[in-house]
Amino acid sequence: QGNDSVMGYFAKVKKCNNSLEYDKEYLKYQFLRELNSDNHMEAKKYETDLSLDELIAKLSVIENI
């Protein structure tokens, strides 16, 4: 993720995925794998209960607090 926002980072992951056409579970795995430590800890709380889109929205809201 580096210095990218959650939305910016996801846009990059999604763009890469478009050419490789991985399924949604793998896309979620790739997204979670490289989150910064704060977002990764937060995502761990919700990852099994939320879809990828819901998780991204949740992290984005938290990031903007």
Residue 10: what pLDDT? 92
Cα–Cα distance for residue pair 7/60, rounded to 1 Å: 7
Residue 35: what pLDDT? 92
Digit-by-digit pLDDT tens for the chain (65 residues) are 888 999 999 999 988 888 888 888 888 888 899 899 999 999 999 878 899 999 999 999 998 88
Q: Spell out the domain ranges in the chain.
A: 6-63
Cα–Cα distance for residue pair 65/49, rounded to 1 Å: 22
pTM higher than 0.85 for the full model? Answer: no
